[in-house]
Homo-oligomer: A and B are copies of this chain.
Amino acid sequence: MLSKSERKLTKPYNLPKRRSQAKHSNAKIYPNVHFASDPNAGDFCILGEPPRGKRAGELATRIGARAVIRSHTVIYAGNVIGDDFQTGHGALVREENKIGNNVSIGSHSIVEHHVVIGNNARLHSNVFVPEFSVLEDDCWLGPNVVVTNARYPQSPGAKENLHGAIIRRGAKIGANATLLPGVTIGENALVGAGAVVVRDVPAGAVVVGNPARVVKRVEEIAEYR
């Protein structure tokens, strides 16, 4: 398919020559960002971005051992993140979140501020998680899942009445599902792809549709037994 004139282009950076910097050569890392072991920070990342009203380096950022932070990711200052953290490319993590061990935040996903994420949580690509959400251990959010927190956006009291969703341990949210503000998704529940969840989902329930309705139990699915 390609012509014979293929050429090999070499990297145009003028990369720093020190071996110890090669791993995060084109990342911007602010002061007061602490890693438990030398991180693998991709190109064009920003780590320790100061939130509004804070000076560069004013808030400490702590990231555990063996972090892999892929290119174009932005992580704000003031996060406390466990070991074995991974992001895809272009992820955004705002300030003041508590994130457990072995968490993966996929490419282009956004986690706002004051979010709590448990161990082994998996956020796939293009996920949106607003402030005050709680994602417990072992939960899974598929591609393009959207969590919300404002029942009446732009109403006079909206900012004081934000209710993040609670996604209980082991719950799985299918691709492109939408969770309305303040809903709780019970333990090990399964939300179908494209569902719009407008009320709480019981533990172990399977819901689909718009609005989402219970159609069965996860125990009825052979693959989960």
Contact = CB atoms under 8 A, between A and B. Distances in A.
Interface of A: 1-3, 5-16, 21, 24-39, 42-44, 46, 49, 62-65, 71-72, 74, 80, 82-83, 88-90, 92, 101, 107-108, 110, 122, 125-126, 128, 130, 140, 142-144, 146, 148, 151-158, 161, 172, 174-176, 178, 180, 190, 193-194, 196, 208-211, 221, 223-224
Given A30-B11, A211-B209, A6 B155 contact: no
B10 A13 contact: no
The 4 closest A-B pairs by CB, nearest first: A194-B196, A178-B194, A2-B34, A6-B34
A175 to B, nearest CB: 5
Contacts of A10: 29, 31
Contacts of A221: 152, 155
Given A180-B193, A221-B152, A35 B2 contact: yes
Contacts of A90: 72, 74, 90, 92, 108
A192 to B, nearest CB: 8
A193 B178 contact: yes
Given A49-B71, A62-B6, A90-B90, A172 B153 contact: yes
Query: How many copies of this chain does the complex contain?
Result: 3
Contact of A224 (B15, B83, B155): B155
B154 A122 contact: yes
A224 B153 contact: no
Contacts of A101: 1
A187 to B, nearest CB: 13
